[in-house]
Structure 1
């Protein structure tokens, strides 16, 4: 029997009333409502008072005693309604102007109401349950005698050198807060283990560190310890940040309801003094914004997410982080709202969206919003001209863009090939490779402000004479002067080449100075002109060329991606034929992460601004909540559009392009988590259908939001003549691709479930604010921050150690653990089995088949499911998606089939090829008595030396997050 579970039932000392904060459930633009009641929970968080929770608690108490029979149902419903009204009326009578109530006071009133109503049996059981829960909590927090004795022997050395006894009561308070509301998490287990690793004379900061590390080591046994570890880390953050700002020396999470508003004002003041923040932040109403901060949202973080923010995102001075999580989100929100007319209200709206984790801006925006140089954009695409001045100018542009955290995509196709004639010197060209070596070293030298590696990708069309040497740039053998080990490369493949591969035809390579117009042609126009050049080469009119079998070059492309992971496969014609902006330019390449498809030229450097919707946050009761999704997207599109006007542009061509076309790229993350919540396996028709339907809804609402912004702010300047202006939406543009490619070379699904006619009418009337609206980025880092699976990726492993720039983190699939617990299968033996099988459930006999299908890992999902889902999404996206392909036991045949299938299914781009490496999962444990002890798991042998092309946290991937 568990009555009243919606109202926590233990009773630590009540807090004094705490000043009211804003209501997280209110309208984004509404101020705090007068007369509002708030509830202080046991962990100190303050939330809105909800009548429904009182009703649910009382109903559960009745059902636990009387059951849910039809006869009892009517009486229970009527009685609960009356009792709820009495309890609510009591507090509204006491506090007509609003105020705060402790959770225990509410439960006391529930007991009293039950007694006064004569429901003595219900009241008696409710009291007994509360007492039992209190005893459970007390037992959970009880320390062993050994730990009590150990604590008494420990003296702590403070920062000033003084010694004082270990404050075990504060330790217990902090750990109790960290474990509040977390199932299967033991306060005593954390404290006992931490005390075993402390000693007399330990430094004060090491006490907190020991608690954090202890909780970390328990994550593999229970995923909820990740949240406990994050909350323990918060204590360190509070001590560091609040003391630096002069707000407080120490604070519990409960104290933050008072301290956060003061900390926001102190943070803005100190940040401006240190020349780290933009002075215009002080023009906001900091009192209003401070009262809008929601301290309880600190508790949403997993350990990996909070540690990532601390290490790499929070504002710092002399290596002291003085930005706290909710201040961080508010700082970003203020930066994005700085030019809004109602900037305080908009800042609160943006803050609520970001801090809810329903949507997250990209890493450059999180890094730089509200700072002196707000470089908020994620991606920059350039075309390199065929002259020495232009080439080194492009390399300088790379350096300036990389300096402020941008990821780069360079189109090198115009640069003449090795052996081509140079009129100015009467000599011959050295081709593109020596210049790419300079680009590679520039990316290493200019490392995005020291926060991340410089990241650049070079693109080359498949007909370029240097293509064969370009394919070998990432090899570890050969002349190292003609290798680029630190940059990425990608093939820009015309449809005609793929047709020749399918038809086993010949392929001719040219130098672009001999065939200059091929660079700007695509579709049927490209095919016709290319064939003319082939005839000219055959007649001897074009001297510099090379003819080979298309399949021979294709096999070399596959061989290099098999061996080095590069160059990636991206497809020129679908990127251009489906581009809304084909009336005013050509897409010459994609970006660093292959999801951006924007025009570039000598005068324009394409820019894209990214953010991602957190898909599982919009799954409720087993369905996609379309109303919530629409609301999220409307605010997100406004935030992304604001980036264009606020952004710092380090080169003029980028500013010119961005203001002319105003492209943005809204994507998704957590696709795998959404499938888990829907109880759907990634490798299934249901998953493919969900990819289709969810992306259709996102596309619909994103286009709608951009059109509504156009009505408010005006269309982008190059709108007329675009596909949008012709009523051709992304899914309609498939007709253009089919028309140019031919029906024999494409297979795409054309289903749709929403009524698009009203939206087309709206766009026809209002126009579009943004030339491009959608792009699915990898989201490696922002997915870590929000605690969900990356982008559209399947689960890598169900238990493994993730390594990135912030360290090593045990990751265990919480959905799997939940399902195994429900079936009585989660225990230490299961943990050991998952370690032994490198996070795979397939070989564990006692796991049922349905769970084996649901929790198949990335290399256990057939690549066709990845391609099918991506093809359905691509139907709705006006740009592209970062699609990693996972292939176990990769072979030439598997790669051939997979990449042909990607092109045949209408994909615009693919990203990394990931193959299983001969390395095992690391295991962390406390069984040995050593904190964070790590051992290697069994290796997974490979039939061929296939390296993993990109680690799961490749820093290069983060530029597009």
Structure 2
């Protein structure tokens, strides 16, 4: 096997910082010599024999190339690397290659001979500023900043951070390298003490302050956290002026009463971020010019708040109210809102849903619309069901159609081409109903084999499944596939009306009145759907009839698809592109050990709904169909995040009746408060235009609409708890008489990125692992469950051995004997709990939600029987949609002696921390839990619709794939 070496970019001279503080040019030959000596020392005669036969030189060359590749990432950002970092990378390359004895000997040799104390900073050493000037290294300031960073953090102290920082110093170090040295010093300690994540973030904040203040002043400037307490108001005025001057921010923001605005800033909240949260903001959210960030956290939150309050009567009062919610992490707006609020192009909406009509002009117009909608960070859901299928007659050319798949290929490439300004990859999801004649080809779109012209490797796909199909699966009956040009009304029908029309078309086909159709066994098609879901992660399973029968807006249209993340269920047509505006309550900020803080939750929800409603009027619409739809119906989607953190705070295991009950009660209160808030807005601002005739206008709330679904299923295919605890009758009457401001109010989105910002678990997800490395566009981050660490400390169980055990057992407590059973149950990870608990909790939430929820399902050892039972169980429990199927990775947490990670960081350059990760699939271990267990054994099923086996191409969703931004 050969390894291609990635050389550092031209003009980059990589240098090595030695233990004595001297700096010398990097020389790869020294790595080769050291590796050769290591092999000869461990393998003795065998090693010399291998060397003589030229096998050893070849092996050494490969390992050296791997180390150079890792170092090249570092060279893209900085020019200096420490000796210890090179040794770390060498040992990691040995571990990856299976040369464990040689790696172990290297580690022992370093412990015995390489423990020389780092040099103390020389008083004559200098720091080089960005303009090339040299100034004396101010170690007193370094110590002060580190001292501020550890202040108030339990278990953290300045000494280890300062000691590690010293090891990175040399005369002439750049200001950027000095800041990075402090950040990386703290970062290496996170796995032993979660509090160092906050320390690392505060050190990154110090670097950001220097970057922002220097940019605005035009000369190098620095300020500590305590100095910024007084400096923030002046900074904010300078920042706003420069942002407007650069045409990045709406000039209207300068007309606010800046005295009131700056007096409300809370500089003390800047240190509240975890490292992952602040790094994410730095990389993707903060305003910058020429790559230099000049927006500090509180300025960011205030800019977003002012943008959302720009049309309020009391602009300053509302902006401060919104700012308080955002900066305290009680509620967080969605990524597009955070990106663009207060800017000159305020595209704040998250999701867009479209229907593609069956003519060439409409199809190519849909590509243009996708590009315009995605340009400003919108996620797309496209309904492709109306497009005629393969073999259907084309009247205009008297030819036969090539079906929907070739058009989907173009849609895929459009999503790739429009990457949202580099902030995140463009993303779309194509939906197709299960009766479409092209459904079997649609299932294959994400396969890695076959004709690549009929594959969409970058676009998500989802099945839009009617109830009639699942009835046929359970009855082991036949299913008929049609082309929509011959059965157009099937697209517009649902429930019993769909079933009757569908059966009528089957009879017409039997009479020869339908030209393009095909009969399949429903069980066989269901088997293929689940097999492809396992093999490729797509298409997702979503249910057409619950989405429509429970839709408040069924009087003015049909829900033809969900969105990119399967939580939005809004009507679409040729004339209306559905738009939804999202934000999420941080449930972790609304619980105490006693339960939900209902008073605070009500205040948060009321303000959040107002913020989301404001988005509709402020929003920059790129196409008229979106503007027309959004202003007419005014849908918003209030969701939640931090659900697992709330359970930890309450001491409730996710796999328990108590957790299911908490999901029910918490969502009931959110639903009650959200609907009430929309009624209040209707009284203040007026009802939404299409209110009359809606379920709302008939006094039918989400909890009531379940009876519509039960009636359509004749009571034999719906198993949903209808318990409620609040005074819904009074609210029902208010809704009916006063009206609603918004056609839809609730939807639970994935929240992967905004949860990172707030430092909590995403959405309604169970904990993935207690210790792992998370990868996203900002890099690789050590994540350790702070709730678990706190519990282990309380019982005297947190120590170095526990860290090692967590690594060895991939973040699971199950096999660690000394951990008590109650903690194992409380901190059980996603793959250690039965998926039915997740469905049960989701079912309880769904009864309160007028839209849907992004629900990932986890299976430890997938089999045909498990998938069949799980997805039919979700249907019986009344779910509207499901999202990714996640299965355990074949790879696991890095188990070498090395610490931490070596991720790609923009503000914190790669390779500066003396740590590294292993790419998935390169030797049995990986810090990135990626991929899925390779082929599973066939498992016969005892229920109707068995799956004989799951395919050999195991590729369900990669839970932390840094290139997958669908749920970021």
Are residues 1:934 and 2:916 paired? yes
Q: Check 1:718–1:224 CA distance in 2 against 1; reply closer, same or farther (3 A cut).
A: same
Are residues 1:539 and 2:546 paired? no
Partner residue, 1:243? 214
Are residues 1:758 and 2:730 paired? yes
Are residues 1:904 and 2:876 paired? yes
Q: 1:508-560: CA deviations, max 9, x gaps?
A: 00000000000000011001010000001111111210011100000000110
Paired residue secondary structure (2:861): coil
595, 598, 603: which one pairs with 1:631?
Answer: 603
1:329 positional shift: 0.1
1:952 positional shift: 3.0
1:753 positional shift: 1.1
Question: Which structure 1 segments of 5+ residues have no match?
Answer: 1-143
Question: Which structure 2 segments of 5+ residues have no match?
Answer: 1-114, 903-910, 919-923, 927-931, 937-951
Could you tell me whether the CA contact under 8 Å between 1:374 and 1:647 is conserved in 2?
yes
Q: Check 1:375–1:807 CA distance in 2 against 1; reply closer, same or farther (3 A cut).
A: same
Partner residue, 1:126? none
Partner residue, 1:85? none
Q: In structure 2, how many angstroms separate the alpha carbons of the residues matched to 1:402 and 1:837? A: 41
Q: Check 1:410–1:599 CA distance in 2 against 1; reply closer, same or farther (3 A cut).
A: same
Could you tell me whether the CA contact under 8 Å between 1:667 and 1:775 is conserved in 2?
yes
Quick check: 190-199 or 725-734, which moved more? Answer: 190-199
660, 666, 685: which one pairs with 1:694?
Answer: 666
Are residues 1:925 and 2:899 paired? yes
430, 444, 456: which one pairs with 1:484?
Answer: 456
1:925 positional shift: 1.6
Q: In structure 2, how many angstroms separate the alpha carbons of the residues matched to 1:365 and 1:822? A: 41
Q: Check 1:700–1:932 CA distance in 2 against 1; reply closer, same or farther (3 A cut).
A: farther
Are residues 1:529 and 2:501 paired? yes
CA RMSD of the aligned region, Å?
1.8
The alignment's TM-score, normalised by the length of structure 2, stands at 0.83
Q: Check 1:424–1:318 CA distance in 2 against 1; reply closer, same or farther (3 A cut).
A: same
Paired residue secondary structure (1:613): strand
949, 959, 962: which one pairs with 1:952?
Answer: 959
Partner residue, 1:170? 141
1:256 positional shift: 1.1
Partner residue, 1:284? 256
Q: In structure 2, how many angstroms separate the alpha carbons of the residues matched to 1:750 and 1:245? A: 58
1:746 positional shift: 1.2
Could you tell me whether the CA contact under 8 Å between 1:363 and 1:958 is conserved in 2?
no
Partner residue, 2:173? 202
Partner residue, 2:59? none
Paired residue secondary structure (1:934): coil
Quick check: 917-926 or 642-651, which moved more? Answer: 917-926
Could you tell me whether the CA contact under 8 Å between 1:175 and 1:187 is conserved in 2?
yes
1:194 positional shift: 1.1
Q: Check 1:630–1:444 CA distance in 2 against 1; reply closer, same or farther (3 A cut).
A: same
Could you tell me whether the CA contact under 8 Å between 2:446 and 2:538 is conserved in 1?
yes
Quick check: 144-153 or 915-924, which moved more? Answer: 144-153
Partner residue, 2:394? 422
Paired residue secondary structure (2:225): coil
Q: In structure 2, how many angstroms separate the alpha carbons of the residues matched to 1:180 and 1:662? A: 46
1:200 positional shift: 2.1
Paired residue secondary structure (2:916): strand
Partner residue, 2:279? 307
Partner residue, 2:680? 708
323, 340, 346: which one pairs with 1:368?
Answer: 340
Q: Check 1:189–1:948 CA distance in 2 against 1; reply closer, same or farther (3 A cut).
A: farther
Are residues 1:782 and 2:754 paired? yes
Are residues 1:470 and 2:470 paired? no
Quick check: 943-952 or 398-407, which moved more? Answer: 943-952
Q: 1:74-98: CA deviations, max 9, x gaps?
A: xxxxxxxxxxxxxxxxxxxxxxxxx
Could you tell me whether the CA contact under 8 Å between 2:535 and 2:955 is conserved in 1?
no
182, 207, 212: which one pairs with 1:211?
Answer: 182
Q: In structure 2, how many angstroms separate the alpha carbons of the residues matched to 1:700 and 1:185? A: 42
1:155 positional shift: 2.9
Q: In structure 2, how many angstroms separate the alpha carbons of the residues matched to 1:958 and 1:669? A: 18
Are residues 1:493 and 2:465 paired? yes
Q: 1:829-873: CA deviations, max 9, x gaps?
A: 100010111111111111111011111111111110010000000
1:950 positional shift: 2.7
871, 875, 884: which one pairs with 2:843?
Answer: 871
1:693 positional shift: 0.5
1:205 positional shift: 1.6
Q: In structure 2, how many angstroms separate the alpha carbons of the residues matched to 1:958 and 1:655? A: 26
Q: Check 1:227–1:782 CA distance in 2 against 1; reply closer, same or farther (3 A cut).
A: same
Alignment of 1:275-674 (within 5 A): 275-674=247-646
Paired residue secondary structure (2:702): coil
Paired residue secondary structure (2:530): helix
Paired residue secondary structure (1:245): helix
Could you tell me whether the CA contact under 8 Å between 1:780 and 1:957 is conserved in 2?
no
Q: In structure 2, how many angstroms separate the alpha carbons of the residues matched to 1:765 and 1:744? A: 34
Q: Check 1:884–1:650 CA distance in 2 against 1; reply closer, same or farther (3 A cut).
A: same
Q: 1:208-262: CA deviations, max 9, x gaps?
A: 1011011111000000000000000011110011121129811000011111111
Q: 1:351-374: CA deviations, max 9, x gaps?
A: 010000000000000000011110
Are residues 1:224 and 2:195 paired? yes
Could you tell me whether the CA contact under 8 Å between 1:925 and 1:931 is conserved in 2?
no
Paired residue secondary structure (1:733): helix
1:958 positional shift: 5.2
1:931 positional shift: 2.5
Q: In structure 2, how many angstroms separate the alpha carbons of the residues matched to 1:354 and 1:405? A: 20
Could you tell me whether the CA contact under 8 Å between 1:154 and 1:198 is conserved in 2?
no
Q: Check 1:539–1:777 CA distance in 2 against 1; reply closer, same or farther (3 A cut).
A: same
Q: In structure 2, how many angstroms separate the alpha carbons of the residues matched to 1:242 and 1:571? A: 52
Q: In structure 2, how many angstroms separate the alpha carbons of the residues matched to 1:553 and 1:231? A: 54
Q: Check 1:379–1:673 CA distance in 2 against 1; reply closer, same or farther (3 A cut).
A: same
Q: 1:418-474: CA deviations, max 9, x gaps?
A: 000011110010100000000000000011122111100000000000000000000
Are residues 1:684 and 2:662 paired? no
Are residues 1:796 and 2:778 paired? no
Quick check: 305-314 or 441-450, which moved more? Answer: 441-450
The alignment's TM-score, normalised by the length of structure 1, stands at 0.83
Number of residue pairs matched?
818
1:269 positional shift: 0.8
1:948 positional shift: 5.1
Could you tell me whether the CA contact under 8 Å between 1:796 and 1:858 is conserved in 2?
yes
Paired residue secondary structure (1:465): coil
Q: 1:254-283: CA deviations, max 9, x gaps?
A: 011111111111111111111111111111
Q: 1:718-759: CA deviations, max 9, x gaps?
A: 000000000000010000000001211111111111111121
